[in-house]
Each structure stands twice: as structure tokens, then as C-alpha cells.
Structure 1
Amino acid sequence: MSHPHEGPHDHDHDHDHDHDRPVADASVRVATPWDVDAVGAVQAALWREAFASLLPAEALDAATAEEFARVWRQSLATPPSGAYRLLVACAGEEVVGFAAVGPSADPDATDVDGELLVGGVTPAARRTGHGSRLLNATVDTAGLTGFARVRTWLLDTDEATRGFLQAAGFAPDGARRERVTGPAERDVAGEVRLTVDVPQ
């Protein structure tokens, strides 16, 4: 199991405006160790949704909520070097989404390039504005930790997430890469990178 910061970039945010169906007590906050089980459950659901047709069965079976939670618990207890932050979106007290932001590890990155590393909103909580709040908070958090730009990678077939991100100001910057999804030579998935400037 990979570190959560190296997991799939499943930005499964809701794609409607916040006013479509208001949510009482909706919020975004910094995650605590008590949130890791809920974050693990959301990430496992997103992983299966995004990669069910791309990853071999053994990889999907290993991507359990418990395993994701274990790695997040370890990450919060001994944070990696650099300005990493884990945020959670909440409906009342229930965690319904998460996002991790940290330094970009891309070869062309500079000290002011942050990255939305992984995140999303659970399917049952979409179309209620959680994704927009989470994305805005992630970009704001990146700015507060010294980043001038935020990058993110997503599957080049994920038109819904690309549309959501572009509506929020992200734009393709021309970078592409391939993610290995299995042992065979054909087991690769294309990804594109989108970038946004942090508001000053």
C-alpha cells in the first residue's frame, strides 16, 4: 500500500453550485487523528470508483478503508517533511470528504509549487457544495503555507473532475504522464496536470 500522498488523485468533488441544495453546518477544517477512520472510508470508496476498471483485483482488494486509515494515522503522527496539510469536509460532525495538499514533487516544480495530492467527496454527499468549499479551502491553505501555485494530476478521461476544476480557475498546463496500473505493458493510464495561481 502506498503512502496516501502517493495515492490516486480522485478529485470526485460535487459539480453543482453551493445553492442547489444547502447543507446545515457544512464546514472544512484541518484533520485530527480522530478523523482518520472516516478519511480512510472516503478514500477507499473514491479509489474503487476511480480505478475499478484500471487496477487489478488484488490492488483494489488491498485498498481498504482500514489500510488507508492506518497510513493516515501514521502520517499525522509523524508528518512528512514540508508543508503538508490534511483537510476534511464535514456535514455537521460527519466527515464526508478530504483533501491533502503539500509540496509538488514534479521534476519542474519550484519551492512555490504546491500540489493537491489526493482528495474527494463521498458519493452520497455530492452536489451539496462540499467539493467547492473543500477546494477553496485547499487553495487558501496552500497560500498560507507559502505556495504561489497549486497543481493537481487527474486521469485524462475524467472529464467531470476536469470541468469542475476548470470552473474553479484551474487550467491544463501542458504536462502529461502515465500511471502504471498493472504488470502488463498495456496497463497504464494517462494523466494530465492542471494548475491554478493562489489568490494574493
Structure 2
Amino acid sequence: MGPRVRDMTLADCRAVAEIRIGGWRAAYTGLIPRSYLDALDVDEDTELRRTMLTKAGNPVVNIVAEQAGEVVGWAAHGPYRDGEVRTADAELYTIYVRPGHLGSGVGTALLRESLGRCTAAGHGRAFLWVLKENVRARRFYERHGFVPDGAEEPFEVDGVAVPEVRYVLRLGDRDAP
């Protein structure tokens, strides 16, 4: 049986912080400065998740995946951000899976739920940004129909420019991933 996907609650914030930081350390070692990865703090990130989850008017949708009662993945999506301007399109802000659960269907379950919610909300397209050198993530998104649209931007981490590429997926007139 696959993971159960549900809305994130305040009780999930610590698990999500652990998943996020573990995901950064697993996926981005060698891609972004080690000093940044080493400085990530679960307690600080837990408080940030709590603050963001309870922020009034926040349009971000946070969902988690559970297996055997354990939170093993997290995704967040909302309006596409073109600079500071929100558009009618959707953006998948993040998908992270506990490193020991990569390849188990957790990421796919989270992606399907996020895209289903984006489609139901009437968004025509979903965008996402991914580190250019994160080959595993890029392959995952490409398997699910996302295509790079040619946009690239540097993401600055500890003074180092790390290139990101943008992917897009047309919603509504396609089969589920």
C-alpha cells in the first residue's frame, strides 16, 4: 500500500523540518556550499514551518505523506511567484522525501496530490525551479511530464551562485502523472 497524503498540521512541523534538512544534505552535497548545509538547524526550521503554517492569508498549501504512521515526505505549492508578483499559474515550491524512502513512491504520491489540487483550483500551468545539477530531481520531474522552458536563474547560497532551471507542466488537459 502506498503512502497516505494529507494536509500538514502543526504537529508535523518537526518531522517536516527533519525531512527538509535531511533532503538538502542528501541532495545538495557538492552542489551548494557545505558551510550552508552544516548550518541548517532542525529547531530553527521547525519554528519557521510553524510560523509559515499559521500565517494568516498564506496561500501556500502544505501536504505530507505518511507510511506506517511516520511522516516520510512533504510538498508545498501555491501561486506562481514571478518576482514578488503572484500569477494565475501554480508553482510547486518543494517536494522532499526522507532519504531512506527515496524511490518508494512517496515523491510521486505528493506530486500527484499537489498537481491534482492545482488543477482543481483552476491553474492552467504548474512551474517549479530545480538546481541545474540536481540530475535525480530533474529526471523525476521529467518522468512526470515537466519540461524545462529555458529560464535559468542563480540561487545564491553563502555567496555562491548556484544555477536553477525552471520547468513547466500544462495542467487540466493531460492525464495524471
Q: Same fold (TM over 0.5)?
A: yes
* Equivalenced residues, count: 172
Question: Residue 189 of structure 1 aligns to which amino acid in structure 2?
Answer: V
Distance 1:156 1:25, change over 3 A: closer
Structure having greater relative contact order (Cα 8 Å, sep ≥ 6): 1
- Number of the residue aligned with 2:24: 47
1:194 to 141, 150, 167: 167
Q: Percent identity, please.
A: 29
- Number of the residue aligned with 2:94: 118
Question: Cα offset for 1:60?
Answer: 2.3
TM-score with structure 2 setting the length? 0.88
Question: Cα offset for 1:62?
Answer: 3.1
- Number of the residue aligned with 1:38: 15
CA distance in 2 between partners of 1:181 and 1:80 (Å): 28
Name the SS of the counterpart of 1:105 in structure 2: strand
Q: Which runs of 5+ in 2 are unaligned?
A: none
Q: Does 1:133 align with 2:106?
A: no
CA distance in 1 between partners of 2:167 and 2:27 (Å): 18
- Number of the residue aligned with 1:13: none
Are the counterparts in 1 of residues 153 and 165 from structure 2 also a CA contact under 8 Å? Answer: yes
Q: Which runs of 5+ in 1 are unaligned?
A: 1-23
Distance 1:150 1:108, change over 3 A: farther
Q: Which runs of 4+ in 1 moved over 6 A?
A: none
Deviates more, 1:114-123 or 1:72-81: 72-81
Alignment of 1:92-107 (within 5 A): 92-107=68-83
Name the SS of the counterpart of 2:87 in structure 1: coil
Deviations 1:49-68 (A, max 9, x none): 233332251x3233122221
Question: Residue 188 of structure 1 aligns to which amino acid in structure 2?
Answer: A
CA distance in 2 between partners of 1:167 and 1:106 (Å): 25
Distance 1:32 1:189, change over 3 A: same
Are the counterparts in 2 of residues 25 and 92 from structure 1 also a CA contact under 8 Å? Answer: no
Structure with the largest fraction of strand: 2
2:51 to 74, 78, 82: 74
1:90 to 51, 54, 66: 66
Question: Cα offset for 1:170?
Answer: 0.6
Are the counterparts in 1 of residues 2 and 106 from structure 2 also a CA contact under 8 Å? Answer: no
Distance 1:85 1:166, change over 3 A: same
Distance 1:79 1:121, change over 3 A: farther
TM-score with structure 1 setting the length? 0.79
Question: Residue 82 of structure 2 aligns to which amino acid in structure 1?
Answer: D
- Number of the residue aligned with 2:122: 146
